[in-house]
Structure 1
Amino acid sequence: MGWSLEKWQVTLHHAHEIHPHIREIGLLTGYRPESATVQQCLGSLFQPTNETVNFWTHFLAAGYFISQLFHQYEEPLDAAKTGPFIGYLFTAIACPLVSCLAHAFSAISLRVYGVCYLLDYTAVSILSFGTGLLYHSYCFPRHFEDTWYAHWYMTVCFICSTLCMLISCSSRFVSHGRFQDVMRLTAFVIPYIWDTSPLLYRFILEDGLTTEAVLHFLQFFFILLAGFFYGTHLPEIVSPGKFDVIGHSHNLMHVFGSVAIYMQMQAGLMDMNRRGLMNHAMPGRSAIELVTKFTALTVFIVIAYIIAQHRKDYHQSQTDKDR
């Protein structure tokens, strides 16, 4: 008994020593074992593994967005005006926070690994819905205010974000490799195109190049960079083994994705302060309740996926025993 450093450390493995579902293209070393304890998972966050930077980039991002949420509550608030922004901030916190927890504890077992990333994809779909709420509430073109497009925008956003979760979660059931990446990129691109389409109209045909436009377009730029590195597996695919601990594509996706959310938040905050709440927007608590309901629905769906994955694993194990 007593404190022991060994309880908090993991022995790192090479790619050929771990399950194929955990291997990443171009990463040859730095893998944690597939049956680490909770203590070892926590201890590994301070070791040079191929998950360490993934954890800390999103942990710091989540901490920053949490500080912004507290800042909103410290300021004198117009509850009706700021409700949608606070609802969006909850989703901006959930996405990196769930991601860093997934990267921290995915080494407990293969089953936990699968559950962690189902939750991770769910958090991305929740952020997609929160983004739609932010744009619908403060960033819409004035030409579309109180039109049928504005009134149906959140309904379509709900459908697209749900599709995002369904497709990305379904990718866990297909063979590991390029096809998975295509499914996940497709899942994330569909709601992103819908969310941002009114912004493109606003800045190209209505407002022109304003300060808000610069921030929004910087967000577009950084999210495209994040998607580029995620889809191409650069730079590790060019120099396998050179970027195992720091600088691989997933690290870069986290960094550029977090910067994109920061730019999005700043642009939305500027629109909220300068333009106010759009006439068609849901005010105050109603907006926060909408985010809560969507989150509850996605959690329910992902639980169904987890049960389906458990049954698939059980039937596979029974089949293997019968052979």
Structure 2
Amino acid sequence: MSPLLGCVAFIGVALWVLTRPTTQVQFMEKIIFSTYFAGAILCLGMSFLFHTVACHSVSVGKLFSKLDYTGITLLIVGSFIPWLYYGFYCRPQPMVIYITMISVLGLLAMIVSLWDKFAEPKYRPIRAGVFIAMGLSAIIPAAHLLIVDGFDFLYKKASLVWMLLMGGMYIGGATIYATRIPERWFPGKCDLWFQSHQLFHTFVVIAAFIHFHAITEMAQKKLMEG
């Protein structure tokens, strides 16, 4: 249920932002934010569909499992683009390089998610490696900003605190999911509510909205600077 609620909420926010007059939200800002809205809506929407139809049949379950992973990829790529755009606002060359980098990694992730060959157990390390590379690739542009602009820029203009909070929510949700908490402590008590998978999805939705707040903050600061 949480992915559906998150999907509907993001659709509402996207409609509100994208229908603002250009005097309030400039056209380029709408394009940049659209990449994030698309990633969040597709990720949460595909997650909801997968969990709804997974038990239909093996073939349907496999198809929507692939789409679920594709949605995760789109959310990751969509999260990177606004942050890179505003973080390197005055440096178009590294901006383009880093956006191209995450886009290529995203394409590779979708290939390993959709191609049946990579669904085989022996390719599991490759699948995991691509997704890990996508996440860790944030270190490169972050280090670039730290070296060139200093910690103060990361803290004040690149929404460092919100980004760390977002990362903590994602990691926390994944940890809960991987360790099967709390059902491992209360067997049979969390079959319907408060199971680790539900908590994981809740953490993901919260993290997605934290990221939205972070990039909104970055956009506002850039617009105020002119």
TM-score range, shorter chain: 0.7 to 0.9
Partners of 1:58 and 1:258 within 8 A in 2? yes
Structure-2 change in CA distance of 1:133 and 1:209 (3 Å): closer
Structure 1: runs of 5+ lacking an equivalent: 1-55, 277-323
The CA distance in 2 between the partners of 1:96 and 1:214, in whole Å, is: 24
The residue number in structure 2 matching 1:107 is: 55
Give me the identity figure in percent.
Answer: 22
The residue number in structure 2 matching 1:249 is: 196
Q: Which moved more, 1:150-159 or 1:182-191?
A: 182-191
Partners of 1:129 and 1:158 within 8 A in 2? yes
Higher helix proportion? 2
The residue number in structure 2 matching 1:81 is: 29
How far has the Cα of 1:167 moved from its partner? 3.9
Matches within 5 A, 1:177-196: 186-195=129-138
Amino acid at match of 1:96: L
Partners of 2:89 and 2:95 within 8 A in 1? no
Structure with bigger RCO (C-alpha 8 Å, 6+ apart): 1
Structure-2 change in CA distance of 1:93 and 1:235 (3 Å): same
Partners of 1:131 and 1:195 within 8 A in 2? no
Size of the aligned set, in residue pairs, is 215
The residue number in structure 2 matching 1:29 is: none
The CA distance in 2 between the partners of 1:217 and 1:229, in whole Å, is: 18
Counterpart among 162, 166, 169 of residue 107 in structure 2: 162
The CA distance in 2 between the partners of 1:197 and 1:229, in whole Å, is: 28
Partners of 2:53 and 2:61 within 8 A in 1? yes
Partners of 2:112 and 2:119 within 8 A in 1? no
* TM-score with structure 1 setting the length: 0.59
Structure-2 change in CA distance of 1:197 and 1:222 (3 Å): farther
How far has the Cα of 1:113 moved from its partner? 0.9
The residue number in structure 2 matching 1:98 is: 46
Q: Which moved more, 1:227-236 or 1:266-275?
A: 227-236
The residue number in structure 2 matching 1:7 is: none
- Do residues 122 (structure 1) and 70 (structure 2) align? yes
Question: Over residues 177-231 of structure 1, what are the superposed CA-to-partner deviations in whole Å (9 max), with x where a residue is unaligned?
Answer: xx96x77654433212214643465476342533833222211111111221233
The residue number in structure 2 matching 1:217 is: 164
* TM-score with structure 2 setting the length: 0.81
Counterpart among 274, 282, 287 of residue 221 in structure 2: 274
- Do residues 262 (structure 1) and 209 (structure 2) align? yes
- Do residues 131 (structure 1) and 131 (structure 2) align? no
How far has the Cα of 1:120 moved from its partner? 0.5
How far has the Cα of 1:235 moved from its partner? 2.9
Structure-2 change in CA distance of 1:215 and 1:266 (3 Å): same
Structure-2 change in CA distance of 1:168 and 1:228 (3 Å): farther
Q: Secondary structure at the match of 2:137?
A: helix
How far has the Cα of 1:100 moved from its partner? 0.4
CA RMSD of aligned residues (A): 2.8
How far has the Cα of 1:141 moved from its partner? 7.7
Structure 2: runs of 5+ lacking an equivalent: none
The CA distance in 2 between the partners of 1:184 and 1:231, in whole Å, is: 17
Counterpart among 182, 190, 204 of residue 235 in structure 1: 182
- Do residues 146 (structure 1) and 92 (structure 2) align? yes
Question: Over residues 265-290 of structure 1, what are the superposed CA-to-partner deviations in whole Å (9 max), with x where a residue is unaligned?
Answer: 111111112114xxxxxxxxxxxxxx
Partners of 2:70 and 2:110 within 8 A in 1? yes
Structure-2 change in CA distance of 1:201 and 1:104 (3 Å): same
